[in-house]
Amino acid sequence: MTSRPNSLRPARPSQRGAALVIAMLLTALGAAVAVQMIVPLSGWLEREYRARDTQASYTLADAAASWAMTVLAADARLGPVDHYGELWATALPPTPVEGGTIEGRITDLQASFNLNNVAPQGVKSAANIALARTLFSQSGLDSKLVDALVDAVDRDETTNDGQSERQRYGRALRNAPLQSFNDLLDVPGFDERAVRALAATTIVLPEATPINANTAPRALIAAAFPAATSDAIDKAIARRTQQPFSSGGDIATVIGQPNADGVFSGNTQYFAVESLIRFERVAHRVQLHIFRPTSARPVLISRIISNA
């Protein structure tokens, strides 16, 4: 067996990984947070404590976001490939901070099929449309819905049989990427049931994003290579744990099927963070989406905080 550069050898989630992600949290917390938490109280009222604790918890939510962005920025400096052997995939264990605990984990939003992939930059992608048909059918949805989705997202105004979209659907379509699952309700033929079925198995990101072949579940890879044998899919899964895929062409070669153009890549730009923050009397669940552009700092694109 030949030796590989260290960067290709996935490290197992380890004590060392946990220690490193904790160190990054402590850096993110900084001295300012500790100071802000000690808010002097004028009385002994429960609601005053709750207000203080909520404020402190929100400050910790900011710390969770800056922790995740620190981890992802550090990862970007190691090269363009993203996989579960990397530090970002190591969960932050419940870590004591002044007055509470903070824990979290970063996950890859590009481990799923993004519905906007049917027409990247407004141009239909045959390979992605074929995969969408398979996934819709697995979710018990009619293939005609894929045609309507393609027409809604692609920038042209004709259907695949040459009719105008306005004529076919009785109105103009958005001709732009979906921004959320809710936008599907505006696509002809979609109802709440279809949206729920798709939300369980696919994702909507603000632009088309290839699936990361290193993080995608086996079933999704199998759906994307319908002509591949089960053995070939197993071989690909085994290969990526040894040596992550560098591109969509890389996984296609290993599986021995034509390169499904634009369906897969070896890296990720959109991540999710799930964090649980406890501070004295309050507990909050924090859900973040982070966009990490190529060669630029990660940016927070959404934040939801709810009571845990």
* Binding site residues, Ca ion, CB under 5 A: 75, 82, 86, 151, 154, 175
Q: Please say which residue, 57 or 215, places its beta carbon nearer to Ca ion.
A: 215
Cα separation values, 56 from 13, 49, 152, 278, Å:
30, 10, 44, 10
| Minimum distance of Ca ion from residue 80's CB (angstroms) | 7
Q: To which residue do tokens 């591109």 refer?
A: 247
Residue 158: DSSP 8-state: B
Nearer to Ca ion by C-beta: 56 or 145?
145
Tell me the C-alpha distance between 235 and 240, whole Å. Answer: 9
CB atoms < 10 A from the CB of 274, how many? 16
**Min separation Cβ 141 and Ca ion, Å:** 20
Residue placing its CB nearer to Ca ion in the complex, 152 or 220? 152
Question: With respect to Ca ion, which residue has the nearer C-beta, 164 or 229?
Answer: 164
Nearest approach, Cβ of residue 83 and Ca ion (Å) = 7
| Phi/psi of residue 127, nearest 5 degrees | -65, -40
Residue with the CB atom nearest Ca ion in the bound state: 82
Q: Cβ contacts of residue 10 below 8 Å, gap of 6+?
A: 83, 84, 85, 86, 241, 242, 244
Q: Would you say 57 or 114 has its CB closer to Ca ion?
A: 114
Q: Which residues contact 17 (CB under 8 A, 6 or more apart)?
A: 11, 87, 90
Q: How far is the CB of 298 from Ca ion (least distance, A)?
A: 12
Cβ at position 46, least distance to Ca ion in Å: 46
Three-state DSSP class for 127?
helix
